[in-house]
Structure 1
Amino acid sequence: MLFLLFLLASSGAAATGVMFKPGAWYGGLKKPGFTPPNWAFPVVWSILYVLIALAAARVAPEDHAGLAMAYFTVQIVFNTLWTPVFFGLHHMKAGLVVIGILWLAVAGTLWQFWQIDWIAGLMFVPYLVWVSVAFALNASVWWLNRHRPNAT
């Protein structure tokens, strides 16, 4: 049951990707050579959201999980926020701030989860790697397009 609740929370974050698609605006931006193909994003995020939910379901019922779950809450909030800021409002630099906070929250969640259940912590490693790539991509896209409207 906990897994389904956390999967539902992750689905809320995923829904922003359906509501705020990259579209022509993103297609017209200059991007770095390490940009993953468009098909990779929904595939990777689907896998990550399942891992995120599984990890949270392992940690939540444990004693002293309060701080870990607080980190979890912060990361899911900033995960949900990034897409509307970047793709919805087209604010690349503000997106960079959001994803920077997201990275810190994911790293903190990973650390806290690892302290309680190392398997749950391990499940967060791919998420941290992907958010690292996304941060680098956001930073590069902002830098390459910094003279466009809404870049800051």
Structure 2
Amino acid sequence: MLPIIFGVSNKYYEQAWYKNLKRPGFAFQDIVFIVIFPVFYVLEAIGLYCILTNDNETSILTFGIFYLMSAILSGVWSVLFFKYRRCDLSLWAFFLELPVGWIVLWLLFRENHLAWTFFLPRVIWGFYAIFANVAYYQLNKEFWDAEKAKNA
């Protein structure tokens, strides 16, 4: 719930600089993110429950470590993109998060297929997010370069 509260309370999507970015043709409206991320978090909570009710303590700890890494990298992306306006660096956070997500899926598939199905949509979403991030960077390169120079 904390990521939802944090994201909505900061209203990053309402900032003027963000509204003025050129959007790729395949970009979703901002309202989609407000709806889809709570759905992802609910699915992940159900998947997490499936894992926590598992008797294998080693898999619970391993999964927890990788899930925490994924959550931290997701938060790093938000801070880099919205607070520091560094689309280039935020893309690296995605590139690091995606393999972590695939490791989580692999671990889940080995241990609990039901939990795996609850986590799969978020990892698949990661591919869209990378393409969108690259498109935003390419369409708004002058803006990102100016922001990078400001923060240097």
Identity %: 21
Is the CA contact (8 Å cut-off) linking 1:16 and 1:84 kept in structure 2? no
**1:105 equivalent in structure 2:** 100
Q: In 2, Cα distance between the equivalents of 1:30 and 1:132?
A: 20
- The answer to whether structure 1 residue 17 and structure 2 residue 17 are counterparts is no
**2:109 equivalent in structure 1:** 114
Is the CA contact (8 Å cut-off) linking 1:75 and 1:102 kept in structure 2? yes
The TM-score with structure 1 as length reference comes to 0.85
Is the CA contact (8 Å cut-off) linking 1:59 and 1:117 kept in structure 2? yes
**2:19 equivalent in structure 1:** 27
User: Unaligned stretches of 5+ in structure 1?
Assistant: 1-10
Which structure's residues are more often helix, by fraction? 2
Q: Map Cα deviations across residues 29-62 of structure 1 (whole Å, 9 max, x no partner).
A: 1121000111100110010001111111211343
Q: Map Cα deviations across residues 45-100 of structure 1 (whole Å, 9 max, x no partner).
A: 01000111111121134303122221111111112222121111111111111122
In structure 2, the CA distance between the partners of 1:151 and 1:139, relative to structure 1 (3 Å rule), is farther
* Runs of 4+ with deviation above 6 angstroms: none
Based on CA coordinates, which of the two structures has the bigger radius of gyration? Answer: 2
Q: Secondary structure at the match of 1:84?
A: helix
From 30, 40, 45, the counterpart of 1:38: 30
Is the CA contact (8 Å cut-off) linking 1:12 and 1:80 kept in structure 2? no
Which 10-residue stretch deviates more, 41-50 or 63-72? 63-72
Is the CA contact (8 Å cut-off) linking 1:20 and 1:83 kept in structure 2? no
- The answer to whether structure 1 residue 59 and structure 2 residue 51 are counterparts is yes
How many residues are matched?
Answer: 142
